């Protein structure tokens, strides 16, 4: 139990509370800290009671984190009065833009690394990250997003639904994808939840189920949905070893539209087991086998640390290779026609 006088690690969002100064008295929410959570294991500054920030009277009219004490008014790219409203009002087509979808936030830098390493020319890549609201709501929590943006690897972050703090704000994933295409001018969109995946060990009780809905959104708008598999050779939990049940449920049950599901070509028994486990997804989707040659080096050169569930790149390389392979496939899609299908729901591209 955290009490007054205890020293605890705390996180503050000055955009919501104002900037704390030494000696300030602060109101903290220490719930995540006391529960010992990993990603969210901080106390959070709720307010600086003796020095409240100015009233939030910014230009925006979209309320994010609605009807909570920390609700924030943000300017939406798709709202009336936005400079982009006329552009987005009747927008309805992604024109085949690849949309890579992942379960975990930790896949984001690996997908981007795989895409950049596999493009046929040296032009700067314009990549938009669509942050879903099924994990952290503030994009400011993600050091990964900040690092990728600073390195020039992301053209924009778009926070959708109840998530906020991106370069652009939109009401839905659908309008966010259209903003990526027409406002950002992105050649690739990556969709994943923010930090803080929630799982219960049940078939349906996990926040990554939103990955399946993202496939549907990308497809209905004329994009090219690409599913990045969550795999692991190191997770101690059976439900996440090989292909995680999160991917099998999200892509196999929730996604109603057809997607390219990328299966990385890994060596040995693990690679064979992975391919066998993916076969049921081929009933609904296109299974695309992608070489991972050269991708380990691309991952090692990533400008942000790579980690998933406490495991670094060397601890669970197959996880990151799978995400990078999805990025590589998206680069292939932008370079030319999609690989030809073998007729059994699978195809191969190197």
3-state secondary structure the chain: CCCCCCCCCEECCHHHHCCCCCCCCCEEECHHHHHCCCCCCCEEEEECCCCCCCCCCCCCCEEECCCCCCCEEECECCCCCCCCHHHHHCCCCCCCCEEEECCCCCHHHHHHHHHHHHCCCCCCCCEEEEEECCCCCEHHHCHHHHHHHHCCCCCEEEEECCCECCCEEECCHHHHHHHHHHHHCCCEEEEEECCCCCECCCCCCEHHHHHHHHHHHHHHCCCEEEEECCEECCCCCHHHCEECHHHHHHHHHHCCCCCEEEEEECCHHHHHHHHHHHHHHHHCCEEEEEECCCHHHHHHCCCCCCEECCEEHHHCHHHHHHHHHHHHHHHHHHHCCCCCCCCCCEEEEC
Answer yes or no: is pLDDT of 259 > 80: yes
Which tens digit of pLDDT belongs to each residue from 73-125?
Answer: 899 999 998 999 999 999 999 999 999 999 999 999 999 999 999 997 778 89
What pLDDT, on a 0 to 100 scale, did the predictor assign at position 57? 58
Reply yes or no on whether the pLDDT at 343 is more than 50.
Answer: no
Q: Are 40 and 156 part of one and the same domain?
A: no
Distance of CA 286 to CAs 76, 165, 212, 283, 327, Å?
35, 35, 15, 8, 16
**pLDDT at res. 6:** 75
**336/270 same-domain check:** yes
> Residues 255, 131: one domain?
yes
pLDDT of residue 337: 52
The more confident residue out of 253 and 345 is 253
Same domain, 44 and 177: no
As a whole number of Å, the end-to-end CA separation of the chain is: 54
- C-beta of residue 181 within 8 angstroms of C-beta of residue 94: yes
> What is the percent of the chain where pLDDT is above 90?
70
What is the pLDDT confidence band of residue 9, given thresholds at 50, 70 and 90?
confident
Does 261 lie in the same domain as 138? yes
pLDDT over threshold 90, residue 143: yes
User: Across the chain, what does the average pLDDT equal?
Assistant: 90
Domain that holds residue 239: 85-349
Same domain, 178 and 251: yes
Q: Is 238 within the bounds of a domain?
A: yes
Lowest mean per-residue pLDDT among 137-146, 224-233, 328-337: 328-337
Residues 90 and 48 reside in one and the same domain: no
**Which pLDDT does position 1 carry in this prediction?**
55
Is position 63 within any domain?
Answer: no
Give percent of the chain with pLDDT exceeding 70.
92
- Asked if the structure places residue 309 within a domain, the reply is yes
Structural domain includes residue 218: yes
Q: Please indicate, yes or no, whether residues 49 and 95 belong to a single structural domain of this protein.
A: no
Same domain, 94 and 183: yes
In tens, the pLDDT along 186-235 reads 999 999 999 988 888 888 888 889 999 999 999 999 999 999 999 988 77
Q: pLDDT, tens digit, for every residue of 13-65?
A: 998 899 999 999 999 998 888 887 765 678 899 999 998 887 665 678 899 99
Token pair for residue 19? Answer: 């900037």
pLDDT beyond 50 at 341: no
Mean pLDDT of 271-281: 93
Q: Is the pLDDT of residue 236 over 80?
A: no
User: Is the domain of 19 the same as that of 144?
Assistant: no
31 assigned to some structural domain: yes
What's the angle, vertex CA 123, arms to CA 333 and CA 319, rounded to 5?
A: 50
pLDDT at 338 over 50: no
- Asked if the structure places residue 67 within a domain, the reply is no
Mark whether 144 and 247 lie in a shared domain: yes
pLDDT at 8: 86
Residue 216's φ and ψ, nearest 5 degrees, are -65, -40
Is residue 276 domain-resident? Answer: yes
Pick the range with the lowest mean pLDDT from 124-128, 215-219, 334-338: 334-338
Find the mean pLDDT for residues 242-271. 94
Domain shared by 121 and 194, yes or no: yes
pLDDT at 154: 98
Q: What angle do CA 193, 196, 199 make, to 5 degrees?
A: 90
At residue 58, the pLDDT reads: 63
Q: Dig out the tokens for 150 from the structure.
A: 């600073």
pLDDT at 347: 58
Kindly state whether residue 120 falls inside one of the protein's structural domains: yes
Number of domains in the chain: 2
């Amino acid at each position: 139990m955290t009490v007054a006088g205890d020293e605890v690690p705390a996180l503050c969002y000055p955009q919501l509370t104002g900037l704390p100064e030494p000696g300030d008295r602060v109101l903290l929410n220490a719930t995540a800290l006391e529960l010992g959570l990993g990603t969210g294991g901080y106390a959070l500054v709720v307010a600086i009671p003796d020095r409240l920030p100015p009233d939030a009277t910014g230009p925006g009219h979209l309320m994010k984190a609605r009807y909570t004490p920390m609700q924030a008014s943000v300017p939406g790219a798709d709202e009336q009065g936005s400079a982009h409203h006329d552009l987005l009002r009747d927008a309805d087509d992604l024109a085949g833009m690849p949309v890579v979808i992942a379960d975990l936030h930790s896949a984001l830098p690996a997908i981007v690394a795989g895409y950049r390493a596999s493009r046929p020319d040296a032009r700067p890549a314009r990549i938009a990250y669509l942050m879903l609201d099924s994990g952290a709501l503030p994009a400011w929590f993600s050091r990964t997003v900040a690092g990728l943006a600073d390195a020039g690897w992301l053209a924009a972050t778009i926070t959708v639904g109840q998530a906020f703090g991106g370069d652009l704000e939109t009401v839905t994933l659908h309008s966010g994808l259209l903003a990526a295409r027409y406002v950002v001018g992105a050649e690739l969109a990556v969709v994943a939840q923010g930090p803080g995946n929630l799982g219960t060990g049940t078939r349906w009780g996990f926040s990554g189920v939103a990955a399946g809905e993202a496939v549907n959104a990308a497809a209905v708008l004329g994009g090219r949905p690409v599913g990045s598999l969550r795999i692991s050779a190191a997770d101690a939990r059976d439900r996440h070893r090989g292909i995680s049940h999160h991917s099998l449920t999200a892509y196999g049950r929730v996604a109603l539209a057809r997607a390219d599901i990328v299966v990385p070509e890994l060596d040995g028994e693990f690679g064979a087991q992975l391919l066998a486990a993916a076969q049921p997804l081929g009933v609904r989707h296109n299974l695309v086998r992608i070489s991972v040659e050269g991708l380990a080096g691309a991952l090692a050169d990533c400008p942000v640390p790579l980690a998933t569930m406490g495991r670094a790149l060397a601890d669970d390389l197959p996880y990151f290779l799978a995400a990078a392979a999805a990025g590589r496939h998206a680069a292939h899609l932008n370079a030319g026609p999609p690989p030809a299908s073998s007729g059994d729901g699978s195809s191969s591209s190197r």
